[in-house]
A = this chain, B = another copy of it.
Amino acid sequence: MDHATTPAQAKPLDDGEIEALDAYWRACNYLAVGMIYLRANPLLREPLAAEHIKRRLLGHWGSDPGQTFALVHLNRLIRQHDLNVIYLAGPGHGAPATLAHAYLEGRYSEIYPDRSQDADGMQRFFRLFSFPGGIGSHCTPETPGSIHEGGELGYSLSHGYGAVFDNPDLIAAVMIGDGEAETGPLATSWHSNKFLNPARDGAVLPILHLNGYKIANPTILARIPHEELTSLLEGYGHRPYFVEGDDPERMHREMAATLERCIDEIQEIQQRARTGGDLRRPRWPMIVLRSPKGWTGPRMVDGHHVANFWRAHQVPVTDPATNPESLKIVEDWMRSYRPEELFDERGAPVPGLRALAPCGDRRISANPHANGGLLCKDLDMPAFRGYAVDVPAPGQRYLSSTQVLGGLLRDVMRRNMTNFRLFGPDETASNKLTAVYEASPKTWMASMLPEDQDGGELAPDGRVMEMLSEHTLEGWFEGYVLTGRHGFFASYEAFVHVIDSMFNQHAKWLEKAKLELAWRAPIPSINILITSLVWRQDHNGFTHQDPGFLDVVCNKSPEIVRVYLPPDANCLLSVADHCLRTRDYVNVIVADKQPHLQYLDMDTAVRHCTKGIGIWEWASTDQGAEPDLVMACAGDVATMEALAAVQILKDKFPGLKIRFVNVVDLFRLLPDTEHPHGLPDRDFDTLFTIGKPVIFNFHAYPALVHKLTYRRHNHDNIHVHGYRERGNINTPFELAIVNEVDRFHLAMKAIDHVPELRLRGAHVKEWLRDQIIDHLEFAHTEGIDRDDIRDWTWTS
Interface residues of A (CB under 8 A from B): 1, 39, 54-56, 58, 92, 127, 130-138, 140, 149, 151-154, 179-180, 182-189, 191, 194, 214-220, 223-225, 227-237, 304-305, 309, 311, 426-430, 442, 444, 446-449, 451-452, 454-456, 458, 466-469, 471-472, 494-495, 497-498, 500-501, 504-505, 508, 511-512, 538-544, 546, 548, 551-552, 555-557, 701, 703, 706-707, 710, 716, 725, 728-731, 734, 779-780, 782-784
Q: How near does chain B come to A675, taking the closest CB pair, in angstroms?
A: 12
Q: Is the CB of A151 within 8 A of B231?
A: no
Cβ distance A755 to chain B, nearest Cβ, rounded Å: 20
Decide: A56 and B783 in contact? CB cutoff 8 A: yes
Q: Is the interface of A mostly helix, strand, loop or mixed?
A: loop
Copies in the assembly, this chain: 2
CA A274 to CA B730, docked complex, whole Å: 50
Closest residue to A135 on the B side, CB-wise? B729
With a cutoff of 8 Å between Cβ atoms, the chain B residues found around residue A138 in the complex are: 540-541, 543
Is B544 a contact partner of A555 (Cβ separation < 8 A)? no
Across the interface, do A56 and B784 meet the contact criterion of CB distance under 8 Å?
A: yes
Q: Are B429 and A539 in contact (CB under 8 A)?
A: no
Closest chain B residue, CB of each to CB of A475 = B184
Question: Which B residues lie within 8 Å of A218 (CB)?
Answer: 444, 446, 449, 452, 458
Q: Is the CB of B543 within 8 A of A508?
A: yes
CA distance A130 to B703 in the complex (A): 30
A179 touches B426 (CB 8 A): yes
Q: Is A541 within 8 A of B468, CB to CB?
A: no
Q: Contacts A180-B468, A454-B309: A540 and B132 contacting too (C-beta < 8 A)?
A: no
Q: Which of chain B's residues has its CB closest to A726's CB?
A: B557
Chain B residue numbers with a CB within 8 Å of A1 are: 227, 231
Q: Which residues of B contact A556 (CB under 8 A)?
A: 725
Chain B residues contacting A135 (CB-CB under 8 Å) are: 729
For residue A225, which residues in chain B have a CB less than 8 angstroms away from its CB? 447
A454: which B residues are within 8 A, CB to CB?
Answer: 304-305, 309, 311
Check B469 against A182 for contact (C-beta < 8 Å).
Answer: yes
Interface pair A508/B220, CB less than 8 Å apart = no
Smallest Cβ distance from A773 to chain B, in angstroms? 14
A455 contacts which chain B residues (CB < 8 A)?
A: 216, 304, 311
Give A512's nearest chain B residue, CB to CB: B542
Quote the shortest CB–CB distance from A438 to chain B (angstroms). Answer: 16
Additional A-B contacts beyond A194-B224, A216-B455, A228-B235 (19; CB < 8 A): A55-B783, A132-B729, A132-B734, A132-B783, A151-B543, A183-B184, A217-B458, A218-B446, A220-B446, A228-B234, A228-B237, A230-B235, A235-B236, A305-B451, A497-B501, A548-B555, A706-B707, A706-B710, A716-B716
> Which residue from chain B places its CB closest to the CB of A548 in the assembled complex?
B555
The chain B residue sitting closest to A304, CB to CB, is B454
In the bound complex, what is the Cα–Cα distance between A15 and B189 (angstroms)?
46
Q: How far is the CB of A366 from chain B (nearest CB, A)?
A: 24
- Cα of A375 to Cα of B373 in the assembled complex, Å: 59
A-B pairs with beta carbons under 8 Å apart, 5 shown: A149-B543, A152-B494, A183-B184, A217-B456, A217-B468
CA distance A228 to B311 in the complex (A): 37
A468 touches B228 (CB 8 A): no
Give every chain B residue within 8 A of A214 (Cβ-Cβ): 426, 468
Residue in B closest to A58 when the chains form the complex, CB atoms: B539
* Residue from B231, B234, B539 in contact with A137 in the complex, judged by beta carbons closer than 8 Å: B539
Q: How far is the CB of A295 from chain B (nearest CB, A)?
A: 16
